[in-house]
Copies of this chain bind each other. A is one copy, B any other.
Amino acid sequence: MSKDLVKDLAIASGSKIVLIVFDGLGGLPRGVGERTELETAYRPNLDALAARSVCGLMDPISPGITPGSGPAHLALFGYDPLRYEIGRGILSALGVDFDLKPSDVAARANFAQIDARGNVIDRRAGRISTEKNRQLCELLSQIKVPGAEIFIRTEKEHRAAIVFRGQGLSGRLSDTDPQKLGVPPLTVQPLSEEARSTAEIVNRFVEQARQILAREERANMILLRGFDQYEALPSYAERYQLKAAAIANYPMYRGVARLLGMTVLPTGDTIQSEFETLAKYFQDYDFFFLHIKKTDSMGEDGNFEGKVKVIEEADRSIPILMDLQPDVVVVTGDHSTPAVLKAHSWHPNPVLLYSKYCRPDQVRAFSESDCLQGGLGRFPAINLMPLMMANALRLNKYGA
């Protein structure tokens, strides 16, 4: 859409929308004639919901394109990811609850191990503990470089977020992470003229960090990637007239939600606790984004059975959701993560949309193959928010 049609038509209302995202939901069969992870799972509650819903298959971006989690979620939330590009660094900083200011430059940091010749031998420093990470971040917080204030925050295991704040900074910077082993970390290069001084600042930081970390056995280096400068996006309240809340137990997803002005609700580590959080706050918001991470983690690990179990675990919590009598429910994925690929993939995700006004189809089970026959057909994720808004009777008529 050339205009922001949904923003122009959005109206406030008392209706409640719940978007359940299974990260990396879509899968692949392990062999000819076999079933996907979702098709294998015992999922009576999701199937019963699908039977009352309109279903379809949804491309994260467009056919053939495999997205990262950032662009995939932006699309689910109705923000064109080709227009709103967000660097990994911004997502990481938002995910550790760092209070980013406009024009801050952020990057994703990995503690890594280099050998005596300075070549990277482990890009994750043996996945050090989160506790160790915290100690190292504290050490690195001593570093002072003229021209910028520097913040470094533990994310999880070997991962951290780093933020540079100051006048005239730019995020147009190359990575120091060489993305392979046996070679030294790279020097940050400015990707445009105005990024020259920021590149110098970052390189000075890395040099000091290297000296401080030199005494460490494993995490003796830091690698930076995904530099980006923070710009606020139009919020859910502005665009959709929705008071939105996010329930997610992984930092990056909380970060994307916060970027769009959603309130991040405190929740527990289990899927059931996420649904209980939904129930607890149900009266306080119009829109809920509930994120289930472990389908993706299991897929990335190539753990087919593990992914099946996560789906079954989530299925058991669906009654908590339906007892709340929400007006609109969507269950889908942000992208596929088939265990056989051990990676994100381009395959479309099954989607079910339940509402009183959804015009149900003949689909009686929630799976890739069943949803293919659904009334929503095949569509790009960017169309999902208008469909949810419409089913919540939250969009005015377009034109007279």
Residues of A whose CB lies within 8 Å of any CB of B are 1-3, 5-6, 9, 28-29, 32, 36, 52, 57, 61-72, 81-83, 85-88, 91, 108, 226, 338, 340-341, 343-347, 357, 359-362, 368-369, 372-373, 375-379, 383, 385-391, 395-400
Contacts and interface: CB of A to CB of B under 8 A. Distances in A.
A172 B14 CA distance: 33
Contact of A81 (B29, B362, B399): B399
A53 to B, nearest CB: 11
Given A340-B357, A390-B346, A397 B67 contact: yes
Contacts of A376: 63, 378
A398 B359 contact: no
B359 A368 contact: yes
Contact of A1 (B9, B82, B378): B82
Contacts of A226: 400
Contact of A65 (B66, B82, B379, B386): B386
A62 B386 contact: yes
A375 B375 contact: no
A363 B121 CA distance: 48
A67 B81 CA distance: 26
Contact of A400 (B36, B62, B87, B359): B87
27 contacts: A2-B83, A3-B82, A5-B61, A5-B62, A61-B398, A62-B383, A63-B376, A64-B386, A64-B389, A64-B395, A65-B386, A65-B398, A66-B390, A66-B397, A67-B399, A68-B397, A68-B399, A69-B400, A72-B399, A88-B400, A108-B400, A338-B357, A359-B368, A369-B375, A372-B377, A377-B378, A378-B378
Given A9-B65, A400-B108, A372 B361 contact: yes
Contacts of A71: 398-399
The 9 closest A-B pairs by CB, nearest first: A64-B386, A88-B400, A377-B378, A71-B399, A64-B390, A68-B399, A346-B390, A64-B387, A68-B400
Protomer copies: 2
A1 B82 CA distance: 8
A65 B396 CA distance: 8
Contact of A57 (B9, B347, B377, B399): B377
Nearest to A9: B65
A62 B2 CA distance: 12
Contacts of A357: 28, 338, 340-341, 345
A135 to B, nearest CB: 26
Contacts of A359: 28-29, 36, 347, 368
Contact of A395 (B2, B338, B346, B372): B346
A293 to B, nearest CB: 16
A341 to B, nearest CB: 7
A359 B369 CA distance: 9
A373 B378 CA distance: 12
Question: Which residue of A64, A68, A85, A378 has the most chain B CB atoms within 10 A of its CB atom?
Answer: A64
B70 A390 contact: no
Contacts of A2: 82-83
Given A357-B345, A383-B64, A70 B362 contact: no
B399 A63 contact: no
